[in-house]
Amino acid sequence: MLARVTGCTVVGIEGRVVTVEVFLSAQLPGFDIVGLPDAAVREARDRVRAAIKNSMLWFPQQRIVANLAPADLKKEGPQLDLSLAFGVLAAGGQLAAPDPGMAVLGELALDGTLRPVRGVLPMVIAARDAGLSKVLLPLDNACEASLVGGLEIMGASSLAEALDVVRGKKKALPPPKKSNTCIPVNADFSRVKGQEGAKRALEVAAAGGHNLVMTGPPGAGKTMLAGCVPSILPDLSEEESLDTTKIYSAAGYLKDTASLITRRPFRSPHHTISLAALCGGGKIPRPGEVSLSHNGVLFLDEIPEFRRETLEVLRQPLEEGEITVARLQAAYTYPARFMLLASMNPCPCGLLSDPAAACTCTPWQIQRYHHKISGPLLDRLDIFIEVPRLRYEEVTGTKAAEPSQRIKKRVEEAREKQRQRFSGDSVSCNAQMGPQHVQKYCVLDEAGRNLMRQAFVRLHLSARAYDRILKVARTIADLDCSPKIQTRHLAEAIGYRQVSAAKLNSNSTECSPLT
């Protein structure tokens, strides 16, 4: 007898609908799964057999062949366990043919208990887009699945309970109450002493989504400043929240009762991170740190300590907002539109630009330290600032600094201007503008063109760096509530890019990268 059950799987961060076809034949007992299953799917044979028997049901003593269609799509993970169990029971006559408009997914324990699986949000979205009307899944995943409208979400805690729900003997348990997952923000700019110039630059970066590099001696407050950035970022929009939550769901990082992520993520990987952990992939493909930072911030503390080949991976996401990981059987494309924050010392000992202490590094050591970051990568960054060592009066001063809430209000007002400007477009902030947007929204007057001409020649700017200066100037004008880019806005934007990437990677060791 043949039975068909609709299941789902995850490919990258996208859900795919899978048709589970189960056929029973009068041959020697066996259980084969075909259709490009991975090890976790193949091992479902033993989980399904034990779960059916321990649920006081009859397991067919016949040859069982389960086909996972489409057969050319690689299936990964245990989320097809419940679909396979339903197929075996339906093919054996213990269950009526399941509703073709219902998707079934979940992992089975040996005693028949349903365990939560990762990637529920993208799978439920795929089921909705495929025209299905119901989804039966583990109760622990029901809250996450209920984020998707237009579907009836049915939760169950065991195989026996799921069968009762399908047979109509028991009503499905309602999903737990929805709750928003907010990443806690404990840092506040009001606690940062001095560094007004750095705070201003971070405000500009947050308002336009620009990439920023801080350089300065150890203990100047670079890491603390970066930790305060989430407190001034605007909350995620509904569409951004769903995109971010889908990535965390596919990566398996959502809690059992978590739902929508409403605050922008802030990721800070250690400098020993591998290339696969940063960009994504691995034996079982997962989104990397650049994708987990999507719509948020990726902070690289002491960026020259990262391996050069690892940093070079950032080129594609910084330029395109996504990253493609190619493997033998498939290529996975993950979204990766983030704001890059980085910090570094001016030299290995950190004292090159410190007037109060002498640098002990040799010119070769300084050159080698700077060469950890390639020119093409630096050319993709927008703002370079110096964070000097604090004076005694600043450390012991009692003057209250501006709180993050006030800065956040200005940032949100600037972002609202950008949302209105790019309404109906795929661009959401100034940093994402393409050449056509720069040409349309970054028009300069005669004085501005003269200033940019001088900067282009004196700073040896590339065409990319020229556009990035205009984008930063557009953000500064938005913060200033100015409809046009004025000369003072351009001057500030040029000041944030005093030295080109080529100069930073030159043989000169007489100045720091930001002087």
DSSP state string for 108-170: EPTTSBEE--S-HHHHHHHHHHTT--EEEEEGGGHHHHTTSSSSEEEEESBHHHHHHHHHTSS
d(CA 376, CA 315): 8
d(CA 160, CA 158): 5
End residue of a domain, out of 167, 197, 221: 167
Residue type, 85: A
Confidence of residue 501 (pLDDT cuts 50, 70, 90): very low
pTM, to two decimals: 0.85
Looking at the fold, whether 163 and 203 belong to one and the same domain comes out as no
d(CA 369, CA 373): 8
Report CA 69 to chain centroid distance, whole Å.
Answer: 30
Is 238 a domain residue? yes
* CATH number of the domain residue 24 falls in: 3.30.230.10
Is 316 a domain residue? yes
Looking at the fold, whether 95 and 217 belong to one and the same domain comes out as no
Instruction: List Cβ neighbours of 514 (8 Å cut-off, separation of 6 or more).
Output: 215, 346, 353, 384, 385, 386, 498, 499
Specify the number of domains making up the chain: 2
Q: Taking the CB of residue 40, how many other CB atoms lie within 10 A of it?
A: 17
Instruction: Classify residue 388 by its DSSP letter.
Output: P
Name the residue with higher pLDDT: 426 or 65. Answer: 65
Instruction: Classify residue 217 by its DSSP letter.
Output: -
Rounded percentage of the chain residues whose pLDDT exceeds 90: 55
Lowest pLDDT segment from 110-114, 120-124, 173-177, 203-207: 173-177
Contact indicator for 51, 43 with CB cutoff of 8 Å: no
Looking at the fold, whether 129 and 16 belong to one and the same domain comes out as yes
Looking at the fold, whether 334 and 416 belong to one and the same domain comes out as yes
Per-residue model confidence as pLDDT tens digits over 331-350: 788 899 999 999 999 888 88
Residues present in the chain in total:
515
* CATH number of the domain residue 324 falls in: 3.40.50.300
Lowest pLDDT segment from 152-156, 158-162, 185-189, 232-236: 185-189
Looking at the fold, whether 282 and 243 belong to one and the same domain comes out as yes
Looking at the fold, whether 157 and 275 belong to one and the same domain comes out as no
Is 179 a domain residue? no
Name the residue with higher pLDDT: 233 or 280. Answer: 233
Contact indicator for 22, 66 with CB cutoff of 8 Å: yes
Q: Tell me the two tokens of residue 399.
A: 């003057």
Lowest pLDDT segment from 220-229, 278-287, 413-422: 278-287
Instruction: List Cβ neighbours of 410 (8 Å cut-off, separation of 6 or more).
Output: 203, 207, 479
Is 173 a domain residue? no
Is 362 a domain residue? yes
Mean per-residue pLDDT for 115-126?
A: 93
Tell me the HSE value of 332 on the side-chain side, using a 13 A CA sphere: 28
When computed from its CA atoms, the radius of gyration of the chain, rounded to whole angstroms, is 28
pLDDT at 511 over 60: no
Mean per-residue pLDDT for 310-317?
A: 92
Looking at the fold, whether 197 and 345 belong to one and the same domain comes out as yes
pLDDT at 54 over 90: yes
Task: Find where tokens 């809690």 sit.
Answer: 255
Looking at the fold, whether 117 and 237 belong to one and the same domain comes out as no
Element (H, E) at 52: helix 44-54
pLDDT at 38 over 60: yes
Residue type, 312: E
Q: Which of these, 112, 77, 84, 111, lies nearest to 24 by C-alpha position?
A: 84
Looking at the fold, whether 199 and 293 belong to one and the same domain comes out as yes
Report CA 246 to chain centroid distance, whole Å.
Answer: 9
Q: Residue ranges of the alpha helices (H) in 286-432?
A: 289-292, 308-311, 315-320, 363-370, 375-378, 392-396, 404-421
Mean per-residue pLDDT for 64-91?
A: 93
End residue of a domain, out of 167, 199, 215: 167
Is 273 a domain residue? yes
pLDDT at 251 over 90: no
User: Residue 291: what pLDDT?
Assistant: 94
Looking at the fold, whether 429 and 372 belong to one and the same domain comes out as yes
Q: Which of these, 117, 113, 112, 109, lies nearest to 75 by C-alpha position?
A: 117
Looking at the fold, whether 230 and 105 belong to one and the same domain comes out as no
Looking at the fold, whether 240 and 288 belong to one and the same domain comes out as yes
* Host domain of residue 197: 189-504
Kindly report the average pLDDT of the chain as a whole number: 87
Tell me the HSE value of 239 on the side-chain side, using a 13 A CA sphere: 2
